[in-house]
Amino acid sequence: MAINTIRILTRLRFRQFFRQKNKGLVGKIIIVVYFWLLELLLFFMLRKEGITDFPPLLVAGICLGFIVPDFLLKLIFEHDQTVMDAFIRTRPISQSSWDRFLSVSQFWKASNLSMPLILAPACLLFMPFRWGLVTLLVLYLFSVFGGFLVMLFKHKGNYPLEKQVSAKAGRSFRQGSGHHVFGIQSRSFLRSKRLKTSVFVLTGVFFFQFISQGFAEIGRFDSVFLTFTILYAAIGLSQWGLSIEANFFCGIWTKPIPVHRLLEDKFLFSAFLGGVTALVAIPFCYWFKIPLYAPLAYALFNAGVGILLIMIDAYKCMPFDLFGKTFFNYQGSSSTFKGSAFLALFVVMIIPIVLPHILPEWAALLILAVIGLAGCVLYRPYFRWVERQFLKNRYHYMEKYLSK
């Protein structure tokens, strides 16, 4: 009986996975292929340098070392998978069958397969075949075990409706508190655990790296982690485009709210987040003897180039389910990967990292600040242009918003 239930649930899960328009899957495939290409590139570059012998134990150790970030990523980003959604709860499925299904499903869960998949070329190219195969198998088993642990760790068992989020300030009528559309940005950010976690955690990780590196090499200016710290807070939010507004776009469209206002406010709020991280970074820059204008230059570049570029097609999105938690409800969570945002992100992060290496430090930072400032000055006409692109094909995009 239990095996039959597990079989039915597995079939249901797979059908759902493959039959819904799964842009998230496309995104994951792109990321895996991207890492495969990097590994191949590294392999051939090393061969060209005459390095052909790679100590298998060392390579295996490095590959297995990825178990830790794999586990941490799952711990940070995964939600309680043990929650039955309304459909499952109302079927004759016993708790024990459900628990078994959840345990078994760890073996084919995408997040448990992704790290072994990403590292497959490295294992097979840099090690003898048997070593590589065994390393991959161990990596896979550890990843499955990690997934299982995360499932247990995140288990709360509450059906989402039972857990109500309250607004602390919502008891009294808030008069003229400047809601308008800016409030949409700040409140959606602060009240959605999913959104907040994704932005805060990665910003925190980059900040930690920046500080660790700063302590280790006082006086030496390396732009990588400072750039990531300042850029990610803003870009992590703006990369979603209008995914949040897509949830209630009918309510927006039927009111006298121009789309460019939504975009402008998202830009301002994202730039504000970048500005806050830059301000937090300033005392550390002083401590690490990094020029104090560096974080400011990055914050300006972040706002005037990074966010604008990321939001160039902000309207091409699916609704982002701010409160999504249940196992079978993947809508709006994994289906919002945008290739253009990924590309823009790549460009935006590369420029401020590379520029200080090819130009004198002051000149690089000056250039970043000036082009950033120019972007900041031009953001209004820019978003009016983006709005016009949206309006040209608005029904197509609005239909997608309605498809949640």
Task: Say how far apart CA 239 and CA 313 lie, in whole Å.
Answer: 10
Task: Say how far apart CA 403 and CA 87 lie, in whole Å.
Answer: 19
Nearer to other proteins, 53 or 162 (CB): 162
Pick the closest to residue 58 from 152, 126, 142 (CA basis): 126
**Distance in Å, CB of 151 to other proteins, minimum:** 25
**Contact status: 21 vs other proteins (CB under 8 A):** no
379 HSE (CA, 13 A, CB side): 29
Pick the piece of the chain touching other proteins (CB under 8 A) from 119-127, 173-181, 224-232, 269-277.
173-181
Give me 221's structure tokens: 């200016």
**Distance in Å, CB of 258 to other proteins, minimum:** 8
**Distance in Å, CB of 174 to other proteins, minimum:** 6
Nearer to other proteins, 52 or 166 (CB): 166
Pick the closest to residue 10 from 109, 116, 91 (CA basis): 109
Give me 402's structure tokens: 């309605």
Nearer to other proteins, 183 or 291 (CB): 183
**Contact status: 395 vs other proteins (CB under 8 A):** yes
- Figure out which of the listed residues 19, 130, 168, 392 binds other proteins, where binding follows CB under 8 A: 168
The interface with other proteins within residues 176-205 (CB under 8 A) comprises 176-177, 179-180, 183-184, 187-188, 191-192
Task: Say how far apart CA 24 and CA 30 lie, in whole Å.
Answer: 10
**Contact status: 90 vs other proteins (CB under 8 A):** no
**Distance in Å, CB of 189 to other proteins, minimum:** 9
Pick the closest to residue 310 from 367, 243, 216 (CA basis): 243
The interface with other proteins within residues 112-151 (CB under 8 A) comprises none
Nearer to other proteins, 15 or 179 (CB): 179
Q: How far is CA 16 from CA 11, 101, 330, in A?
A: 8, 16, 9
The interface with other proteins within residues 312-371 (CB under 8 A) comprises 322-323
Nearer to other proteins, 63 or 244 (CB): 244
Nearer to other proteins, 90 or 175 (CB): 175
Burial class (CB in 10 A: 0-12, 13-18, 19+), 307: buried
Give me 325's structure tokens: 């938690």
- CA angle, corner 214, sides to 211 and 218, nearest 5? 155
- Figure out which of the listed residues 171, 216, 219, 392 binds other proteins, where binding follows CB under 8 A: 171
Nearer to other proteins, 52 or 164 (CB): 164
Q: Are 230 and 298 in contact (CB under 8 A)?
A: yes
DSSP states of 275-298: HHHHHHHHHHHHHTT--THHHHHH
Nearer to other proteins, 150 or 184 (CB): 184
387 HSE (CA, 13 A, CB side): 15
- Figure out which of the listed residues 257, 268, 282, 373 binds other proteins, where binding follows CB under 8 A: 257
The interface with other proteins within residues 225-254 (CB under 8 A) comprises 247-251, 253-254
Task: Say how far apart CA 387 and CA 394 lie, in whole Å.
Answer: 9
Q: Which residues bind other proteins (CB under 8 A)?
A: 161, 164-168, 170-177, 179-180, 183-184, 187-188, 191-192, 247-251, 253-257, 322-323, 395, 398-399, 401-402, 404
